[in-house]
Structure 1
Amino acid sequence: MDIQNNVNNVTGTGGSVATPTAGNGEGDVSAMFTRLLVAQVKNQDPLAPMEANQFVTQFAQMSQVEAMRTLANLSAATARTQESMLVVTLGSQVGSQVRVRSEKVELGDAGVKGGFKLESSASEVGVILTDGGGTEYKVSLGAKQAGDVDFNIDPAEHGLPPGNYTLRVVADSGEKPPVELDGNLQSVRLGTDGRVILTIAGIGDAAAADITRFLGRSNQQRTYSETASPQSLPISKRFQS
């Protein structure tokens, strides 16, 4: 018996195994697996046929592969949908003050606000700012208790020239907590890799996962409905309780 010819007849190649065409990859794999399995059954040794459990095992393997590929596709689609929804959700927060994990800041005339968390009390805590040339400026915060610590650094008061700085916190206890900085959320967009990217004034780009707190809008950024007089509001707004 010419096994190769029989396999070719079953797979419909006439001389070589058909290459799956582009399209539904899962369907192509399933169809090819089925054709090869039929060819295997048709050309098995009559004196030593395959056992039933071997067929069941092969079918189970095919089902597992298809299920895993389907799950992977669904997971990818779900992730894309969630990222898109996150852009819409965070987009409504543009103009708000946020606190974000970051060690880099661009100083101008305005001060830099932020915070960190101490696991234990320290008698001396400081924030060290390093400029692009490697010059370090230390701002002493004094003794601090364990817990959340906020700071507000005035560049003029501490002789900090405008520019880009890297921040780190030091304590005499040896603790080096990560720094969180405050800034205005300016824009939200999707990157080329599908991840959400936030642009924060004075800080730059950050990931959505880096946001630790939403601080709300300042009084100068109140919405129209909050600042407009009753006479300038639509009638439907004037009489709302």
Structure 2
Amino acid sequence: MSVNSVSSAVSTTGTSNNPIIASNGSDLSNMFLNLLVAQISHQNPLNPQDGTQFVSQLAQFSSLESLQSIKQNTADTQTSLNTLQVLDATKLVGTEVNVQTGTQVLEQQGNIKGQVNLSAAADSVTAQLYNADGELIEQQQLPYSGQGTLNFQFDDQDAGAYTVKVYAQSNGLSTNLQPWLSGQVERVSVGNSVDDILLQVNGLGNFNLSDINQLVTQS
């Protein structure tokens, strides 16, 4: 007798007080016992089943029970990791980070600083600062020592909106580079999952946790 036929038989033999499948997670051991009783009750007395079949079915249920246990443990572990990630994100409040943007708004006089990552060598690298009217107000030739990360800073800027542009020159050709600007995390918002963690960075906007290039080391 197959497992499917036994399942059908169990449902019609007055076992309503002992359901095979419990809501929100089955007790596979009880399920196996119910099926075993049903198989024995419905077997042909003149042609009884081989006991090895029962052992085989027990092994199958034991494997399924182990898999369900592993799945539950994995889910619990992931929940714990998600909780830790959220807690770590909240610790970023008050921390200075670099985020991928070229615009910044100063609410009061201050510095605009950041960095640019070079993936290839260049002859020179230049950072430019523009005001809200699109006027170039300051330009810096960045110290260059080859491929890697270059830092820049425009000191004592008045309150207002600014745009930073960085370009590299190599063999007479100019290439625009993506700046990463520095700002302090003011607030952390958490949505329905850890993928919805948003950082509100002062003067720069809202960014996903994965958008952070690096924490800025305070000197």
Q: CA deviation at 1:184?
A: 0.5
Give the corresponding residue for 1:70.
Answer: 69
Normalised by the length of structure 1, the TM-score is 0.57
Residue type matched to 1:113 in 2? K
Q: Any conservation in 2 of the 1:11–1:18 contact (CA below 8 Å)?
A: no
Alignment partner of 1:91 is 2:90: yes
Alignment of 1:53-64 (within 5 A): 54-64=53-63
Q: Which residue of 2 aligns with 1:205?
A: 206
CA contact (8 A) 1:184 1:200 kept: yes
Q: Does 1:43 align with 2:45?
A: no
Matched residue SS, 1:82: helix
Q: CA deviation at 1:12?
A: 0.3
Amino acid at match of 1:49: Q
Q: CA deviation at 1:97?
A: 0.8
Cα separation, partners in 2 of 1:207 and 1:78, compared to 1, 3 Å:
farther
Match of 1:234 in 2: none
Deviation at 1:207, TM superposition (A): 3.5
> By how many angstroms is 1:166 displaced?
10
Cα distance change on mapping 1:55 and 1:5 into 2, 3 Å: closer
The alignment covers a number of residue pairs equal to 202
CA distance in 2, matches of 1:44, 1:5: 14
Q: What is the identity, as a one-letter code, of the residue corresponding to 2:123?
A: S
Partner secondary structure for residue 49 of structure 2 = coil
Is the 1:87–1:188 contact (alpha carbons within 8 Å) kept by the matching residues of 2?
A: no
What is the rounded CA distance, in whole Å, between the counterparts of 1:20 and 1:61 in structure 2?
16
| Partner secondary structure for residue 207 of structure 2 | strand
Match of 1:108 in 2: 105
Q: Distance in 1 between matches of 2:13 and 2:164?
A: 68
CA contact under 8 A between 2:102 and 2:179: conserved in structure 1?
A: no
Question: Does the 8 Å contact 1:80/1:194 carry over to 2?
Answer: no
Q: Give the counterpart letter for 2:10 in structure 1.
A: V
Residue 177 of structure 1 deviates from its aligned partner by 7.3
* Separation in structure 2 between the aligned mates of residue 125 and residue 200 of structure 1, nearest angstrom: 26
* Structure 2 residue runs without a partner (length 5+): 1-5
Question: 2:166 and 2:43 mapped to 1: Cα distance?
Answer: 71
Larger strand proportion of the pair = 2
Deviations 1:96-147 (A, max 9, x none): 21124x3x35422466432233243112546799xxxxx9x9x885784212
Residue 191 of structure 1, CA deviation = 1.9
Q: Is the alpha carbon distance of 1:41 and 1:123 closer, same or farther for their aligned partners in structure 2, counting shifts above 3 Å?
A: farther
Whichever residue aligns with residue 99 of structure 1, its letter is: N
Measured in 1, the distance between the counterparts of 2:64 and 2:7 equals 27
Q: 2:97, 2:183 within 8 Å by CA — same for their partners in 1?
A: yes
Provide closer, same or farther for how the CA distance between residues 90 and 142 of structure 1 changes in structure 2, counting only shifts above 3 A.
closer
Contact 1:169 1:179 in 2 (8 A): no
> Could you list the runs of 5+ residues in structure 1 that have no partner in the other structure?
130-134, 219-241
